[in-house]
Amino acid sequence: MRSYKYVGKPIPRQDVSKVFGDAIYAYDVKLPGMLYAKLVGSRYAHARIKGIDLSGALRVPGVVRVFAGDDFPFKVGLYAADRDVLARGKTLYYGQPVAGIVAETLQAAEEAAELIEVDYEPLKPVLTIEEALSPDAPIIHEEMSKYRHASFVYPKPGTNIANYLKLRKGDVSEGFRKADVVVEGVYREPLISHAYLENWVGTARVFHDGTVEIWSSHQSPFAVRHLLAASLGLPEGKVIVHHTFTGGGFGGKAGLLLEHIPVLFSMRLGGRPVRLELNREENFFFMAQRAGYLFRMRTGATKEGKLVAHYGEYYLDAGAYADYTVNIGRSVGFVPTGPYEIPNIHVDSVTVYTNKVPTTAFRGFGMQEMHFAFEQQMDKLAQELGIDALELRLRNAIVPGKSYLPTQVRVREDAGDPAGTMKRAAELIRLGKEIKKPKEPWKFRGVGMASFWKGPVQPSNAASSAIVKVNEDGSIDVLVGTGEMGQGTINALAQIVAEELGIPVEKVRVSPARSTDSVAYTWQTVGSRGLFSEGQALLRAIDDLKNQAKEIASLVFRVFRDEVEVSEGKACVKGKPWECITLAEMALGYTLPNGRAIHGPLIGRGSHVPSQTTYLDPETGKGEPKPFMTFGTGAVEVEVDLLTMRVKVLKAVTVLDTPVINPGLALGQVYGGAVMGISITLNEELKVDPEGRLLNPNFTDYKVARAEDIPDEMVAEFLGVGQKNAPYGAKGIGELTMIPWPAAIANAIHNAIGVRINELPITPDKLLQAVMRQRPELLEALEKELLEAS
Amino acid sequence: MVNSLTIRLKVNGTEKSVNVEPNERLLDVLRNKLYLSSVKAGCLRGECGTCTIIMNGKLTKSCLVLAVEADGSEITTVEGLTKGGEPTATQKAFIEKFGFQCGFCTPAYVLVAHWIIENMPGATDKEIKELLNAVICRCTGYKQILEAVRRAREIREGST
């Protein structure tokens, strides 16, 4: 990569208020006269509501109003409007809000919540994918045919299927006939939680003219605005969404969350501000979590190691509301394999309702889960064929410009360098080389790799825009719609502005706090799309600004516009660096010697839309789904302890093909993604009892990685192979960093002890069972050795 | 209804007198009555550590302390670290080493790091990690936080 002054450098973050304690989150926003809302959760996973008695709650001093399901007789949602505001007629999961209290104090609201009496008639809960699909399964959404669905969602009313997607490429039967080796596998991942640190909170009020205003903890201010408007029948222009810093999202705060609840409560209470703040336990119950997965796969290759066919049945356990998860079902259906060219693919991806907590996006959008399955298929094939795991991957890796995607379009020539990441990651983890044997006879080490790809899953018209303003002191304010939830895209955008205009990066501010009525539109802050999409809009805005500066200079110096160049914060006549006007001098326009002023304030605007993506064929999936794909490979060295059955990741290697704008930020994504990925591989699972009650809604029982759990060594490399239309070639990486770990760890465990694990999380009990089933002789030998030693 | 009580606290160097309810958490008093918004609630059961403060010289989770128990205590929050606007060694190190992302847990980590370099300047990586264990960060993967603690120690040693 070419050397730049700011791009590619670890410039410190702009949002340093976070280390001084004065960063403001939605959680910190309070309004005068604010009321407090509290939701009451269902005691049953699946039950008819026969009656609800609110009278006790209404008698508590300070209670202003109590709401129940029938107060809001409509559904809300993004891709599938399947959500009740408060449960109407039936509860669909344990903890589902059935009533809402608004009071002058939180204490009064909490007291009243205890006094709501609901009369339930329990129904049989549907708790697994298999149960949901069985012919005699209770139907969870009996009125599905009446729901509003996005045009690309294909539900099956009368069943528990929220979306059914088909991908067809080539002729899979013919493909399997050519295969010399076929491997099969069944892989599962449980529902998990994003476990961001800031619980969801929203404070809303309604103005006298009906304009709604809300501060909430979300990723995508404009998506919240659109969905509030669509759900409540308001015009977008009457909804203002304020974005503050967001205390972590990871997909869990994409789309519409609970914003409609405080808004609706405020609407019914004369517009008084209403705050709904979830505590940790409520956040586990009321906020959407991540779906569970079941993959059935058959993959075939020739003896030369060429992949020829892949057949898959993919199922997502979406919980009670599949609103967002239907689109994840599409994501894993359209990219149903790792980054390889396979001529014949037949995949059905089915999103299923169950009586569990609703689900939504999670970093990786199904790709981590799909790769957990597919990248184990690759290692199994390599083993069957007697080909090295790296070599098999290299023989089939996507070749930009030549290969065809599963959706049958050709991969762009500048798409990246999949093979390069595979080779480098294998080298860094010393794949195939001798591994140091631990001195304890019960410890075994192994290495494993997993390659991956992903691009944003978005509508073909997902738009972005940017506005660049020059201040009187020559500093720059940039307005974009990207949310800031830790990923730091705003810093990368500031570096791009500094580079393009040749001004110090300290003079560029990309404001982290913004409102939908005063910043430029962007569709959503999801899918690792921010830098790519806002970056392109921003480059166009800078270009627009430069043209205006050139025009002013051309009038002042009486030259053609193309004789002027903009650099180092000035517009100068080319070749005459003494004939210049600074950006500061023309910030508000330029005043000529005779007093006449020209042009007015400099303001650049730019837009972006992924113009090359298309709709996808409903029968085959054919089409261009993504504006870019980032390619990468992860590799780990693990130590398996057969006495404790614990797995420790000693080293984690990430290689991504893309260049990066800020290596400090990019490494933060890589380390954070790796530790999150390791945590979900080894620990994380939302557990329910046979009645569907969530058993671990807290951080004692839902364990996320802490500082002592991280690998001894985390290594990352960026190969710098850019895509031409990406800003400075840089593609998104935020989600990508999370994808390879479950597969790489499972492959490394197999490398260490010859045991294959098909289900997450890889807990000691699961590992013990797998060892006893697959390699009992390991335990017998160990027992003998330990007895002899004693 | 039990009457509220008056407690005295020395918060970030200033004497304060506050009326509190007998069942009120110190966390809520710091946030709602003394307007120290850096102290965050993440779980209210001592699991996540985002409400960490330094109380009488010890790292303390303020959600697990009743306000009345804190009567007479000396309390430091991140707001109290910065003397005359100049960032402390810890704050400089967190900025330099990219030791934060969403920032929700950051005030807690800055205090933990500050406490480590003031009280355990010779701490090993293992000891540092044990102390960092008291707070959950879901964004960073902890590596850059660990690097920030080491860097803070270097900056402080260089400056004294």
Q: What are the pLDDT digits (tens) for A562-604? A: 999 999 999 999 999 999 999 999 999 999 999 999 999 999 9
Q: Where in chain A is CATH 3.30.365.10?
A: 290-408+415-458+615-781, 459-608
Q: Do A664 and B140 touch (CB under 8 A)?
A: no
**Which residue range is the domain that position B148 belongs to?**
89-159
Chain A residues touching residue B38 (CB < 8 angstroms): 21-22
pLDDT at B159: 63
Which residues on B lie below 8 Å from A14 (Cβ)?
A: none
Contacts of A130 (CB under 8 A, 6+ apart): none
- Do A600 and A589 form a contact (C-beta atoms < 8 A)? yes
The answer to whether A592 faces chain B, any CB pair under 8 Å, is: no
Is the domain of B105 the same as that of B137?
yes
Structure-model confidence comparison of residues A460 and B73, the more confident one: B73
CB contact (8 A) between residue A19 and residue B95:
yes
Asked whether residue B83 is assigned to any structural domain, the reply reads no
**B108 sits in which H/E element:** helix B106-119
Query: Nearest by CB to A668, which of B44, B96, B140?
Result: B140
DSSP state letters, A445-495: EEEEEEEEEE-----TT--EEEEEEE-TTS-EEEEE----SSS-HHHHHHH
Q: Is residue B99 part of a domain?
A: yes
Shortest distance, CA A247 to any CA of chain B (angstroms): 5
Using CB atoms, which residue from A197, A704, A708 is nearest to B104? A197
The topology (CATH level 3) of A459-608 is Aldehyde Oxidoreductase; domain 4 (3.30.365)
Binary contact (A707, B140; C-beta < 8 A): no
Chain B closest-CA separation from residue A235 CA (Å): 32
Domain with CATH 3.90.1170.50 in chain A: 31-123
Which residues of chain B from 82 to 141 reach within 8 Å of chain A, CB to CB? 82, 87, 91, 94-107, 110, 126, 128-130, 132-133, 136-141
Structurally, how many domains does chain B consist of? 2
The beta-carbon neighbor of B138 closest among A487, A488, A704 is A704
Residue A159: predicted pLDDT: 97
State the Cα–Cα distance between residues A397 and A342, nearest whole angstrom.
9
Residue B112 lies in a domain: yes
Q: Which residues 657-686 of A have a C-beta within 8 angstroms of B?
A: 664-665, 667-668, 670-676
B77 to chain A, closest Cα gap in Å = 8
Dihedral over Cα of A331, A333, A334, A336: its sign? positive
Which residue is associated with the tokens 């979900």?
Answer: A680
The CATH code that applies to domain A290-408+415-458+615-781 is 3.30.365.10
Starting at the earlier edge strand, list the strands of the sheet with A90-91: A90-91, A47-53, A117-122
Give this complex's ipTM: 0.97
What is d(CA A430, CA A476) in angstroms, rounded to the nearest whole number? 47
The predicted structure's pLDDT at residue A80: 84
Beta strands in A190-226 (DSSP E): 201-206, 212-216
With an 8 Å Cβ cutoff, are B42 and A485 in contact?
Answer: no
- The fold of A31-123 is Aldehyde Oxidoreductase; domain 3 (3.90.1170)
For the cut 60, the answer to whether the pLDDT of residue B160 exceeds it is no
Q: Do A12 and B44 touch (CB under 8 A)?
A: no
A284 vs B contacts (CB less than 8 Å): none
Q: What CATH number has the domain bearing residue B72?
A: 3.10.20.30
The one-letter amino acid at A236: E
- Asked if A96 contacts A27 with a C-beta cutoff of 8 angstroms, the reply is no
Measured between CA atoms, the residue of chain B closest to residue A714 is B143
Asked if residue B18 is part of any domain, the answer here is yes
pLDDT tens per residue, range B29-47: 999 999 999 999 999 999 9
B93 to chain A: nearest residue by CA? A19
Q: Do A197 and B50 touch (CB under 8 A)?
A: yes
pLDDT at A432: 92
Mutate which of B104, B133, B155 to disrupt the A interface (most A C-beta within 10 Å)?
A: B104
Q: Which residues contact A439 (CB under 8 A, 6 or more apart)?
A: none
Record: contact B136-A704, CB cut-off 8 A? yes
CATH number of the domain residue B98 falls in = 1.10.150.120
Residue A258's pLDDT is: 95
Of the residues B78, B106, B123, the one at which a domain ends: B78
Q: Which of A22, A488, A671 sits opposite B143 (nearest CB)?
A: A671
Domain boundary among B37, B54, B78: B78
Query: CB atoms < 10 A from the CB of A230, how many?
Result: 17
Cα separation values, A105 from A33, A35, A59, Å: 10, 7, 14
Instruction: Establish if B37 belongs to a structural domain.
Output: yes
Q: Is A138 on the interface with B (CB under 8 A)?
A: no
The four Cα atoms A99, A228, A218, B80 give a dihedral, to 10 degrees, of -80
Rounded distance between C-alpha atoms, residue B155 and residue A355, angstroms: 54
pLDDT < 70 regions, chain A: 1-2
Give domain status of residue B84, yes or no. Answer: no
Given an 8 Å threshold on Cβ–Cβ distance, is A248 in contact with B104?
A: yes
Bridge partners (DSSP) listed for residue A47: A91, A122
Q: How many CB pairs under 8 A join A and B?
A: 168
User: Which chain B positions have a beta carbon within 8 Å of A246's beta carbon?
Assistant: 102
Rounded alpha-carbon distances, angstroms, from residue B155 to A401, A708, B151: 50, 24, 6
**Do strands A212-216 and A570-573 pair parallel, antiparallel, or not at all (unpaired)?**
unpaired
Question: Which of B50, B78, B106 is the last residue in one of the domains?
Answer: B78
Report the chain B residue with the minimal C-alpha distance to residue A663: B98
Q: Is the pLDDT of residue B1 over 70?
A: no
Q: Please give the pLDDT value at position A513.
A: 72
Q: Do B132 and A706 touch (CB under 8 A)?
A: yes
Rounded CA separation A115/A113 (Å): 5
The confidence score (pLDDT) of residue A323 equals 83
Classify each residue of A147-183 as buried b or exposed e, where b means 16 or more C-beta atoms within 10 Å of its C-beta: bebbebbbbeeebbbbbbbbbbbbebeebbeebebeb
